[in-house]
Amino acid sequence: MKPETRAELARPALFLDRELSQLAFNRRVLAQAEDPSIPVLERLRYLCICSSNLDEFFEVRVASLLAAASVDGVLSEHPALTANLNRVSAECHALVARQYEILNTEVLPLLEQNGVHVVRHNQRTEAQRAWVKEYFEREVRPLLTPIGLDPAHPFPQVVNKSLNFIVALSGKDAFGRGTAIAIIKAPRVLPRIIPLPAELSDRPGVSFCLLSSIIHAHVSDLFAGREVLAYSQFRVTRDSDLWVDEDEVKNLRQALKGELAGRQFGRSVRLEVAKNCPPGLSEFLLDQFGLDKSRLYQVDGPVNLVRLNEIADHMKKPELRFPPFMPGVHNKTVNNDIFATLRRHDMLLHHPFQSFQTVIDFIRSAATDPCVVAIKQTVYRTGMNSDLMEALILAARLGKEVTVVVELMARFDEEANINWADKLEQAGAQVVYGVVGLKTHAKIALVIRREGPGDSGVLRYYAHLGTGNYHPTTTKFYTDFGVLTSNEEMGRDVNEVFMHLTSLAKPHKLNHIWLAPFALQDQIIKAIRNEARIAKSGKPARIIVKVNALVDESVIRALYAASQDGVRIDLIVRGACTLRPGVEGLSENIKVRSIIGRFLEHSRIYYFRNDLKHDVYLASADWMNRNLFRRIEVAFPVLDRALKRRVMAEGLHPYLKDNQNAWELDSSGHYQRRKPRAKQEPFSAQRHLMHNLGTVAETAPPPTA
């Protein structure tokens, strides 16, 4: 490559905008809600997923952009920062408008046709109105605290993403004063979706009403003797990233407990109001929350679409859902002895197409096995209820050496992780919180077993390494790989990682694992450059990578250089990707695609042809700067040849063949959905894996169109 061409790799224009790329991912999720071939309750769920994703985008990414563009809390006039915020804002407004358009013109009418009715106040029968009034008086009104604003009643603290109402009133209050504005907080303990009694319905099916609709219908009852001039529901989204000065605190867990309460009242970043909210009320709210008009979202429906998930949870109509799926069970365990099986061969698990129960059984067996002397495990996300955590608690109570590295800074799972840390310590486990300033994101577990006669037996390592979290719920909906192995060198590597996390000593040289933040980026770039060297020697060179995000500029530059040297590169990137593919003279040998389907694509796979050595790595890390330098991450090779072929056959090749759920990225940053070409059979990678590894029920009849 010419020196001047190499210099081009430093041009910022060669990288797509990260925030816009993340929003493009939400566009692809929203396209699932638009797809008429998907059952209507699933389309509703996709709307809720998109809304939830946007909530987090505002809580984290927009909050970060606003902080970067502010000086002492006031937005600066920096042209580049302002322009980026404006582009992001425009796309967010367009996304939100499209969400509600799909809800009102497609999803709700289709639900109606299939006997699922969301009944507004003006649609209710007299009997339904009477029931709603009685429900309001019995269940809602006692929990409400309307606040008329005056010097003694200032604007109240409004919790992040909570449902609230602003009311404009005429006349004077009971004390003869003109308190013109009141605020009502909707009780968080009440359901947002309320089923109406079946006997009151005037049409077949199930009828629901929204809590916001119930409060709207009876808001005037809360202000006797005064006229309600106008009102609107509203919701404010706040900066929700937790921050503690890790150099100052002596106990991270105690510090985080204090910060969790404050998360609900972080800096405001977005205000949502009803579409018909009078300008005066929205302007009043913007002023209270310190927001400009670009942060205002007027929505044609409930301000929190995520709560509509309750409708899908309530409905029992299988014809309105995806066909039931039963994951396959790994059936190669010898005499139900998982350790005997692993002494014979490694095991590869592909979730959710294969059950996560095998991993749970691995830890449970270790907990009760008298030969097991120690268990070590990392915890990033595990949920409020976890059989794995209960097994670790049991192991500690049975006297085994249990070490758990709990990541307390796992965003939005901090409280659950703190609770598990408390329970584990009470049971006698050794709990540590990783490395200050670095999130422990690696997914590893190690069982150490004494095998052989009496005390002369030798210690043997059994390890689980995965791409996903030890979370009982997400393992059913996220695609991930996990390897169970008794390979001695791999076990020693895993133990070395744990020794590093607990002792904070520099890790010794590892046999197989690439460890961030010390070597992972260097090893990735070294492998990419090795493929480039092979290509320049005239041999075939190939890279296939599957990750959730690709934004690390050093890795992208290495991929650009490899493309220019003739390496054929396929990137399967679910979410944000800032690499520009298909640019002549730069990246014409790179293709980027994203798969959006029934399950969330979550596995990380790195494949390098390496002159027919076919190196396959599974990893916890995406190709982002934060993963490579601000987290403890591991990438590990699949050593067994048969399992290596399986990863290729299940985790990469079907996704490159997919022409139903695949979106291809062009050099301008736009995604186009792949469709079967002439005489080409439709092919979905996820559907293929469901049928090959698990059991899919007979396809339910499509909902009425």
Kindly provide the residue ranges of all beta strands, DSSP E only, lying in 244-394, ordered along the sequence: 268-274, 296-299, 325-326, 347-351, 372-379
Among residues 117, 350, 351, 441, which one is catalytic?
Answer: 441
The answer to whether 478 is a known ligand-binding residue is yes
Residues with Cβ within 8 Å of 637's Cβ and at least 6 positions away in sequence, in order, are 512, 615, 616, 617
Pairing of strands 181-185, 147-148: antiparallel
Closest residue by Cα to residue 620 from 543, 530, 528, 514: 514
The answer to whether 574 is a known ligand-binding residue is yes
Helix (H) or strand (E) holding 478: strand 478-485
Burial class (CB in 10 A: 0-12, 13-18, 19+), 242: middle
Q: Is 94 helix (H, G, I), strand (E, B) or coil?
A: helix
Closest residue by Cα to residue 510 from 634, 601, 624: 634
CA distances from 579 to 191, 571, 572, 576 (A): 43, 10, 12, 9
Pairing of strands 147-148, 193-195: unpaired
Closest residue by Cα to residue 190 from 211, 164, 218, 216: 211
Q: Which residues of 458-468 are buried (b: 16+ CB within 10 A; e: fewer)?
A: eebbbbbbbbb
Write the single-letter amino acid at 205.
G
441 in active site: yes
Instruction: Give the position of tokens 């080409």.
Output: 680
Q: Is 356 helix (H, G, I), strand (E, B) or coil?
A: coil
- DSSP state at residue 273: E
The answer to whether 121 is a known ligand-binding residue is no
Q: Rounded CA gap, 510 and 522, in Å?
A: 14
Closest residue by Cα to residue 414 from 435, 442, 384: 384
Residues with Cβ within 8 Å of 57's Cβ and at least 6 positions away in sequence, in order, are 22, 23, 26, 92
Closest residue by Cα to residue 440 from 392, 408, 393: 408
Q: Which residues of 350-387 are buried (b: 16+ CB within 10 A; e: fewer)?
A: bbbbbbbbbbbbbbbbbbebeebbbbbbbbbbbbeebb
The answer to whether 411 is a known ligand-binding residue is yes
Taking the mean position of all CA atoms in its chain, how far away is CA 308? 18
Query: Torsions phi, psi of 93, nearest 5?
Result: -60, -40
The answer to whether 192 is a known ligand-binding residue is no
Q: Rounded CA gap, 651 and 644, in Å?
A: 10
Q: Rounded CA gap, 552 and 418, in Å?
A: 31
Closest residue by Cα to residue 651 from 613, 698, 599, 610: 599
Helix (H) or strand (E) holding 479: strand 478-485
Closest residue by Cα to residue 468 from 384, 366, 349, 372: 349
Q: Which residues of 250-273 are buried (b: 16+ CB within 10 A; e: fewer)?
A: eebbebbeeeeeebeebebbbbbb
Write the single-letter amino acid at 505.
A
Q: Rounded CA gap, 323 and 178, in Å?
A: 58
Taking the mean position of all CA atoms in its chain, how far away is CA 259? 22
The answer to whether 53 is a known ligand-binding residue is yes
Annotated binding site for ATP: 53, 478, 574, 602
Annotated binding site: 53, 381, 411, 478, 574, 602
Give me the active site residues, please.
441
Annotated binding site for Mg(2+): 381, 411
